[in-house]
Homo-oligomer: A and B are copies of this chain.
Amino acid sequence: MAQKLPKRTEDFAAWYNELVKRAGLAENSSVRGCMIIKPYGFAIWEKMQAILDQAFKATGHENAYFPLLIPKSYLSREAEHIEGFAKECAVVTHYRLKKSSDRQGVVVDPEAQLEEELIIRPTSETIIWHTYKNWIKSYRDLPLLINQWSNMMRWEMRPRLFLRTAEVLWQEGHTAHATREEAKQEALQMLHIYDKFVRDYMALPLLKGIKTEHERFAGAEETYTIEALMQDGKALQAGTSHFLGQKFAQAFGVTFTNQAGQLDHVWGTSWGVTTRLIGALVMTHSDDEGLVLPPRLAPIQVVIIPVYKSEAERRLVVQQATTLRAALLAQGVAVKLDDRDTHKPGWKFAEYELKGVPLRMAIGPIDLANHTVELARRDTRAKMTISMDNVVGTIQKLLRDIQDYLYQRAVDFRETHTTSVNTYEAFKTVIAQKGGFVLAHWDGTTETEKKIQAATKATIRCIPLDASPETGNCMYTGKPSRQRVVFAQAY
């Protein structure tokens, strides 16, 4: 039996890291900050992609593909954008290697230096708006609703699997509109699509809100965000949707003739989620025994493990297990029968517990005699013996129950870890001792925000979108405030 995982209560970071590796989700590569997404982790990403892609297309978006490399000068066009991204860019300077003088290795060929350096995209607004200039002439060309599934790169100094990596897989939507109002609606629509996906599939409740100026995307007029709460009481930004105003249209000269025949700049949005969602999934539901995956995203929803002693028993048990597998597959349940002879049932039980398979079915000679199977839920670890008669229906219901249970548990956790405070003293105590989301009044200035962050490491996660207005006084400066904002320490 493999060594146990570190405990969450003792070392959350070590627990997370070990879990991601041992469950077969991902591992570090020898290229600093770049991870290898292993088949089991990638299968989760493929499920996420399929669901989101369908939601994007259902709202009129089309996929396209833009270049990986962006000319350095493009990044500088939008002043805030370059400020935000220059510090973390991978730069291509040459296009050829040659034999080293000792002929043992290769070196960069100094004669193959690029005239202008190329940057591996940290995000694609610049090259896409440069392209949109040629695609958009008239209001008839709008809206332009494009999404791209791709890799991007930001040079992270303290990488962590899924949460912060140099290379990231993601989708980035980039849309162009004729009016401010329509672009704002688009940015909000995509936020709601993310929210629905995370809630319904990842079983994760979110806060929807607006970022402060300090936390805003470099080049956006407004950034909308979905914020999740992890089991260690830290917040995690799960996705963002930006209303770009006319900033990129102005930077790249993208104009159109409106219905009145006048020339105007185009309004833009961009929005994205990344493989970071997998990190959020792991940190929300899993426990000290391993992963806990919500059924709607689990690559394997049910694993069937035959239990037997003799070869005669094995034959009968595997035969019945094969029949059950076929019945489940026919109903669209993602089922795996692990009938390998090389591993004992106990080893397999631990393995699929570590991998977070929502339901485990064990079937042995006694089950055959009794016309039953034994089921074990991964979430509650409850075991039950059920009749073989309606096993498919029972399993389908249990999978729905598990999905609901995980969501409700996450909602409960968030509720017990959301605290309203009225004084800065109380704020500091809650941040230091309890963690979680802290609702407090703030005077609206970046100056105050930075001071609070410097003292407590807590940042403003968002100004909630659907909170009821409540006037008050900033807990730090006492100046007036129109609404509580949400603070937390964050990933």
Q: Indicate with 1 or 0, residue by residue over A140-181, a CB within 8 angstroms of chain B CB atoms.
A: 100000100011010100000000000101000000000000
Contact A36 B131 (CB under 8 A): yes
Kindly report which residue of chain B lies nearest to residue A100, judged by CB atoms.
B76
Contact count band on A: 35 or more
Q: Which A residues, 413 to 443, have Cβ-Cβ distances below 8 Å to chain B?
A: none
- A29 / chain B contacts, CB cutoff of 8 Å: 66-67, 127, 131
CB distance from A256 to the nearest CB of B (A): 15
Contact A72 B106 (CB under 8 A): yes
- Segment touching B, from A115-123, A305-313, A381-389: A115-123
CB distance from A365 to the nearest CB of B (A): 27
- A75 / chain B contacts, CB cutoff of 8 Å: 97, 106
- A94 / chain B contacts, CB cutoff of 8 Å: 90-91, 93
Q: Would you call A213 an interface residue if the criterion is a C-beta within 8 Å of the partner chain's C-beta atoms? A: no
Kindly report how many copies of this chain are found in the complex they form together: 2
- Segment touching B, from A57-65, A219-227, A453-461: A57-65
Contact B97 A34 (CB under 8 A): no
Contact B90 A97 (CB under 8 A): no
- A66 / chain B contacts, CB cutoff of 8 Å: 29, 36
Contact B106 A97 (CB under 8 A): no
Q: Indicate with 1 or 0, residue by residue over A342-377, a CB within 8 angstroms of chain B CB atoms.
A: 100000000000000000000000000000000000
Q: Would you call A108 an interface residue if the criterion is a C-beta within 8 Å of the partner chain's C-beta atoms? A: yes
Contact A67 B34 (CB under 8 A): yes
A-B contact pairs, 29 of them (CB 8 A): A29-B127, A30-B130, A31-B70, A31-B71, A31-B127, A34-B69, A37-B64, A42-B65, A45-B65, A67-B167, A68-B151, A68-B167, A72-B105, A76-B104, A76-B105, A76-B106, A86-B97, A86-B106, A87-B97, A88-B96, A89-B96, A89-B97, A90-B94, A91-B108, A95-B155, A120-B120, A140-B342, A150-B151, A151-B151
Query: Assuming A92-B93, A92-B120, A150-B151, what are 12 further A-B pairs, CB within 8 angstroms?
Result: A31-B118, A36-B66, A42-B62, A68-B120, A68-B151, A73-B105, A76-B104, A82-B97, A86-B106, A87-B97, A91-B92, A120-B120
